[in-house]
Amino acid sequence: MLKVEKLKKFYKTKLNSIHALNGIDFSLQKGDHLAVIGSNGSGKTTLIKLLTQLTHPTSGRILIDDKPLSDNDKNKFGLMLGNSIVYHRLTVRQNLEYFAAIYNVENANEKISHHLAEFGLTERQHDLVEHLSEGMKSKVAFIRAIIHEPEILILDEPTNGVDPISTDILLWHIKKYPTVIFSSHNLYEVVDVANKVLIINQGEQAFFGDIKDVKAGSQSSQAVREELLKMYKK
């Protein structure tokens, strides 16, 4: 479904050249939940930006259904970058109506109402987003990302700054979604949600594989987290 080949992204600053990503290779099938982990500045967000065409690779390829990624594939992705890409000066409903129209969503009103109810936001739908709590903003950003029912949902630290109750709700929905790529610093949610893991260390691919491979030798979540932490530190 999605294949990433020898992906590189270099940035030039006034002082030096930054190798944000240096040779990332992985492939995903429908139904996969990929967790991208790595320390701050490791290149996780750059990878997400490349997958959603927010930036373009220095070299390498991204293939979707065996064809190079193009503008025509934009509808296939849903992106949540924290609680950005949501207009804080618009109401919750105005935001969702806008993005539903942009993505040409059919029966948009019904879908929006359904999602708002699902996330407990019906009562707040006419409030400005700037008046919502961080957790609620994240829920709005999540609904925005899935409003057009994308084939692949891409989330950058979706639960960052979100309270435990809202985190639970978001994770429940993420797990339900068919194909997901998400970055996270929280190894609990990685083990909970992902079936595949990509570890990036200073732009280099340190590990890509099935989470079962990480679990080798132990089936306990705690052991997997400890193993991931070791790999992460390397």
Partner 1 sequence: MRLTTSIKQVWAITKKEIHLEARYLIPFFSNVFFNPLKMAVWFFIVYFGFFSNGATSLGDLNKENYVLFLTIGSTFNMFFTIASSNFPAKFFNEKYWKTIQGFIIAPLNNFKFVIGLSLAELIKASFGVLVFSAIAMIFFPISIYKFLLVLAVIIFVFVGIMFIGLIRAAYILVNENINTVFEYAFMAVGFISCFYYPIQAFPKFLQPIIYYNPIYQGITLVRNIWIDQPVQIFSIIYVVVFTIFAVIFGAATFRRLIHHHDIEGY
User: Binding residues for partner 1, per CB under 8 A?
Assistant: 11, 52-56, 71-72, 74-75, 77, 79, 81, 84-90, 94, 97-99, 101-104, 128, 144
Contact 147, 99 (CB under 8 A): yes
What is the nearest approach in angstroms of partner 1 to the Cβ of residue 17?
14
Looking at the Cβ atoms of 19 and 88, the one nearer to partner 1 is 88
> With respect to partner 1, which residue has the nearer C-beta, 11 or 172?
11
Sorted by sequence, the CB contacts under 8 Å of residue 162 that are 6+ apart come out as: 134, 135, 138, 170
Minimum CB separation from partner 1 for residue 16, in Å? Answer: 16
Smallest gap from residue 215 Cβ to partner 1 (A): 34
Looking at beta carbons only, is 109 or 222 nearer to partner 1?
109
231, with CB counted inside 10 A (0-12, 13-18, 19+), is middle
Which tokens belong to 196? 């595949």
CB of 141 to partner 1, least distance (A): 10
Nearest to 96 by CA among 52, 148, 44, 131: 148
CA distance 119 to 68: 35
The CA distance from 81 to 155, in Å, is 6
Using the minimum distance from each CB to partner 1, give the nearer residue, 22 or 45.
45
CB of 30 to partner 1, least distance (A): 21
| H or E element, residue 190 | helix 187-193
Whose Cβ is closer to partner 1: residue 39's or residue 94's?
94
